[in-house]
Every structure is written in C-alpha cells, then in structure tokens.
Amino acid sequence: YPVGQSLASLDLDQSATGRMLIDYVLKRGHERIAVLMRQRRGYGDDVMLDHITAGAMAARLKPGNLLVRSVPLDADSALLTVRELLRHEIRPTAVIVRPSVALPALRQAADELGLTIGKNLLVIVGGDLPATAEEGEQRLPYIQSELNAEQEGRIVGRLLTELASGQTPNPLHVVVPPLLREPEGD
C-alpha cells in the first residue's frame, strides 16, 4: 500500500497490468469475460480491476458481460465458485485469473463442463505462474515483471541500504512495468 505511506516499495504497475489483460482478451474478440480475484483483495488488486472495468466499459460490453468473482483459498469452495461461474447464463468465453491458486479449480470445472482451455475458453493469468504449475499451465499467457528476480533484488537492496543509512530513497516507490508472456509457438 504505497499510496500516502513513507515505506519504500517495489511494485508491479497494476494499472498497466489491468489494461494489458483486458486489451489482450478484447483483441481476441471476447465479449463475455470473467475475472477471478483473491478472496481478500488488496490495493493493487483493486487498481488492476478498475482498469479492467474501464477497458470493458470503453469497449461497450453489454451489462452483465463482465463477471467478477472472489475465489476462496479452499480447493472445494474454489471449485464450486468457478463451476457456477462457468454455468452462468452468460457463460464467459475468456477468464482473467488473478490468483494462480484458482487455476486447478478452473481446469477441473472446464473439464467437467466440456470446455477446453485455449480452444473455447481463453485463460490469461494476471501474474506470474506458480513454480508448481501443472503440465500445460505454463502454456497460458501471463503477466510478469519486466525485471528478473536478481534485478528486483538489487532494487530492494538499494532501498534497504539507503533506509538503513538514514537516507530517503529516491524514488521511494519503484513501479515496475509488466510484460505479457504468451505461449511459444501459438
């Protein structure tokens, strides 16, 4: 929560992330879109969602064609949430997944309902894919930091070093641009 705080921070640009996600889906012709969010959202989640919503409104999506759901951490509850979403009267043809924890539930619900991710259901992940991704999940498009872990570590190290020496880091809040990664060969 860098806004108005004196704590140093390194954050992914959530405004740009939201715009990239909705643009990606809309450019592929999808007009029935779902967004799966964490059950407990934070400031960055809200900023990202604001930009997804703004993009949907600018594209003049019909009312009800942008569905937002909070996905519980519990696997059974997550499955129920996603299953009901995919059974909605306006079934989404594209899903933006914020918490990668929702991917197993999404995959299972899609299988149960005869949907194929990548064919009749576009899925894009609004953050790095987990290191423990199931086979096939790494083939989903996803958002990641423009910087690698070493570069991010150097920035955090600089911020901490400056703070420890009594200096106010400049900048105090480092905002990193996102990159959209698409599956190779698609």
**Each residue of 107-127: pLDDT tens digit?**
999 999 999 998 999 999 988
Q: How many CA atoms lie within 13 A of 146 on its CB side?
A: 12
Measured between alpha carbons, how far is 9 from 117 in angstroms, rounded to an integer? 36
pTM as predicted: 0.88
H or E stretch covering 163: helix 149-164
Which pLDDT band holds residue 97 (cuts at 50, 70, 90)? very high
Tell me, what's the pLDDT at 40? 86
Query: What would the mean pLDDT of 19-26 be, rounded to a whole number?
Result: 97
Measured between alpha carbons, how far is 166 from 160 in angstroms, rounded to an integer? 10
Measured between alpha carbons, how far is 55 from 113 in angstroms, rounded to an integer? 29
Query: What would the mean pLDDT of 97-105 be, rounded to a whole number?
Result: 83
Which pLDDT band holds residue 185 (cuts at 50, 70, 90)? low
| pLDDT, tens digit, 9 for 90 and up, residues 44-60 | 899 999 999 999 999 99
Measured between alpha carbons, how far is 2 from 43 in angstroms, rounded to an integer? 9
**What's the first-to-final CA gap in the chain, in angstroms?**
37
